[in-house]
Each structure stands twice: as C-alpha cells, then as structure tokens.
Amino acid sequence: MLSAHNQMTEKTYPFWTVSSHTFILGAGASRAAFPNGDKFCQILPLMYDFVNVLSLEDFFECHGIDYKNQNIEDIYDRLYTENQNNPILEELNNIIIDYFTSLRIPDEITLYDELILSLQKKDAIFSFNWDPLLVQAYSRNLAIKELPNIHFLHGNVAIGICMKDRHVGYLGNKCAICNLPFTPTNLLYPIKSKNYTDDPFIRGEWQSLEWYLDNSFIVSIFGYNAPKTDVEARNIMKKAWSKNPRYKFNEIDIIDIKSREQVEENWAEFMYKSHGGICNDVHATQSFRYARRSCESWGEAIMQSSPWRENNMPQYTNLEELHRWLAPLIKQEIEFREHGVLINELQGT
C-alpha cells in the first residue's frame, strides 16, 4: 500500500488520482447495513438501545444496577469509574463479546459488500464497531484481491493479533511467521475517557487512521457522531485531517439520519467552508455514484470542471456477477498502479 503511494507521487500525477478515500463507520452504519438484523435476525445495537437489544435488563436488575433512561456508555462508565476491577464488568464484557461473536452476515449481497467493492486498494475503511459483519463481508469478497484496507479503532470480535510478531489477521487463523494462533484483540468498552495508546493493536489502528486522514482527498463518515465525550478521538481526527496539505480542497461527507442542523453543529470544526456534504443515504456518496472512482471523478469535477457521468453498481443477486461487472474497472486500477496509465471516464465505465 505504502509503496504504491510512493511510486505514484503528486509530482507526476494529479493529486486526486493518487489520494485515498477514507470511510469511517460507527454503529449507525451497521444498523443501516442490516436494518433487519444479521442472518438470524439478531439486531445490531446502537448506544441508546444497547441494553434492550442485548436483553441486559435482568442482568442489571440482578446486580442492583440502575439502568433505566441511560445509554450503555453512561452505565458502563459509572461502573468503571466506581471500580475498574468490579467482577460485574468482566461478566458484562463476556455477555457483549458472546452476542457480537454470534452475528452472521446474510447470504444475499449487503450494503457492506457494496461499500467494500465501491472502494479501491488505495482506500480504507475504519470502523468503531465490534460486530464481525464488515470482516465477514470482506472475507467473502477476497477473490477480488483489489480491496480497500480495513481497520478497527475499538477492536473487533473477528480480528486477532500475534503480539510476538505484531501481525494481525482473522481470529481462528495462525500467524504466518510463528504459526501460533492469533489471540483476540482487546475491545475498547464504552467509557467516556478512552485510551487509544496503551494497547498496541488499538494504537496501530489509530496511527493508520492518522496516516489516511493526512493523505485522503475524500473522507466519508457513516453512522458515527464523534461524541463530545470522546475528546481524544475528536482531537486525533481533527489534527490529522487539518494538517492534510490539501485540506482546503478536500471533501468530507457525513451520512447520518439526524437533522442537517444537528449534523452541521457536530461536525462544524471538521469542515472547510462549503467542502462538506450531508445526506441520509450512503448510496448518495461519491464512491457509490461513481463505483471505485470517487477521488478521480470528484477531482475531475472540482479541479478540472469536467464532471463524469455516474456509474452506479448494478443490483445483482450474487457476488460473482458483481465481481465480473467490476473486472474492467479493476483492470484499469492495476494498469495505473503498475504502468502509470491514467484512469479516465471512458476507461472507467
């Protein structure tokens, strides 16, 4: 990944052809991708309905914990602040892990499949979510080979790590160097003052986010509101995004079902003038309207005043058909990366 960027320098190519598109996913993205739940109709929880979705009412009542009219962060943060070694926390953590580990992706093409396939190898997806559905969608699209990088800023129940060799992979697989099984990544639980530096895996994921924000042309934030309580997360993202050398030209898109006024207020410090879009449907974003050509099409439109016609992914019923449709686009990406043949509208449609 880094070598590809080093080869395609801005001295030789227009910056929008070598810049990345970064997607940041919150819990709202998983809920939107699976509105009816996973393969077994298990619902993806949000912060406010977490207790109800995981049926934690009896657990809290049994332990005499006040949970009514509170979201999971309020409850968990209070318990953690009172006693970090409270055995109730470990029991609660195990319930959470068991629920998320049990989730399975539906057989049909999902929004997460489309999202992964709408981006190029130079792009990246960063998720705050513990659920394994993005990982499962990624795994079943590996035949493409030209997929974006995926990272997990709060850990993930499907991702493991080899601490000895600093390798990351699917939980259940083995490290390619020492051949020992990957161990589960630690999950960052919902406390208001999170630490993104102590855990090696989490620290590495945030360092990757900083790199991508510093090298992206488009950032799309889907179902994540960067809560004001998570000061460190907001500061890390704001610092990395604002030091991007093309900050004044970059685009930031927010996909959220909240009102425009709420979204604008929440993300005002991240947007430069009018370089920000707000919508409630991820299909309206650049990577979905111009499959695998988000940065290229946006750059031609705003930098060259030469907008491209839209090229939405067809609604196929199986992934093999969709992979075949994507093949000509991917061929052009490889030609550009390996031989410097610029992608243009005719080649990319």
pLDDT score at 142:
96
Q: Say if residue 349's pLDDT is above 60.
A: no
Spatial neighbors of 176 by CB under 8 A, at least 6 apart, are 167, 169
pLDDT number for residue 4: 43
Residue of 347 and 1 predicted with greater confidence: 347
Mean per-residue pLDDT for 76-88?
93
Structure tokens at 205: 């994921």
Q: Are strands 183-184 and 216-222 parallel, antiparallel or unpaired?
A: unpaired
Question: Do 200 and 168 form a contact (C-beta atoms < 8 A)?
Answer: no
Question: Quick one: tokens of 40?
Answer: 């077994």
Q: Note whether 283 and 255 are within 8 A (CB).
A: no
Q: Which two tokens stand for residue 239?
A: 């610092």
Separation CA 34–CA 302 (nearest Å): 34
Nearest to 223 by CA among 87, 31, 6: 31
Residue 138 has pLDDT above 50, yes or no: yes
Q: Evaluate if residue 7 carries a pLDDT over 70.
A: no
Q: What is the pLDDT of residue 202?
A: 94
Is the pLDDT confidence value at 348 over 80? no
pLDDT, tens digit, 9 for 90 and up, residues 141-158? 999 999 999 999 999 999
Using CA atoms, how far apart are residues 308 and 285, in angstroms rounded to an integer? 14
- Please say if the pLDDT value at position 3 is more than 60: no
Q: Which of 182, 104, 134 is nearest to 24 (CA)?
A: 134
Determine what percent of the chain is predicted with pLDDT higher than 70.
94
40 pLDDT band, cuts 50/70/90, is very high
Mean pLDDT of 159-180: 91
Query: What pLDDT shows up at residue 272?
Result: 60
Residue in the block written with tokens 């051949």: 179
What mean pLDDT, rounded, does the chain reach?
90
Paired residues of 222 in beta bridges = 25, 255
Residue 188 has pLDDT above 70, yes or no: yes
Inform me whether the pLDDT recorded for 27 exceeds 60: yes
Give the residue from 114, 94, 159 showing the smallest Cα distance to 132: 159
Strands 167-170 and 159-162: antiparallel
> For residues 172 and 160, is the Cβ–Cβ distance under 8 A?
yes
Q: What is the pLDDT of residue 116?
A: 98
- DSSP E strand boundaries for the chain: 20-25, 124-127, 149-152, 159-162, 167-170, 183-184, 216-222, 251-255, 276-279
Is residue 223's pLDDT more than 90? Answer: yes
Domain with CATH 3.40.50 in the chain: 2-35+109-153+188-339
Question: Which residue has 């919902």 as its token pair?
Answer: 190
Query: pLDDT by residue (tens digit) across 262-321?
Result: 888 888 777 765 557 889 999 999 999 999 999 999 999 999 999 999 999 999 999 999
Tokens of 178: 């020492």
Question: Which CATH fold would you assign to the domain 2-35+109-153+188-339?
Answer: Rossmann fold (3.40.50)
> How far is residue 145's CA from residue 166's CA, in Å, rounded to a whole number?
23
Instruction: Look at residue 234 in the predicted model and tell me its pLDDT.
Output: 86
Q: Does the pTM of the predicted model rise above 0.85?
A: yes
Contact (CB, 8 A) for 154 and 50: no
- pLDDT class for 5, splitting at 50, 70, 90? very low
Residue 166, pLDDT > 90, answer no
Pairwise pLDDT comparison (119 vs 241), residue with the higher score? 119
Residue 347 has pLDDT above 80, yes or no: no
Of 8, 15, 30, 31, nearest to 218 by C-alpha is 15
Separation CA 251–CA 276 (nearest Å) = 6
Helix-then-strand count for the chain, H and E: 15, 9
Instruction: Give me the mean pLDDT over the 24-45 stretch.
Output: 97
| DSSP strand pairing (124-127 vs 167-170) | unpaired
Closest CA to 281 of 339, 223, 206: 223
pLDDT bin (cut points 50, 70, 90) of residue 11 is low
pLDDT of residue 346: 57
**From the CB of residue 55, how many other CB atoms can be counted at a distance below 10 Å?**
10
How confident is the model over 167-184, as a mean pLDDT?
92
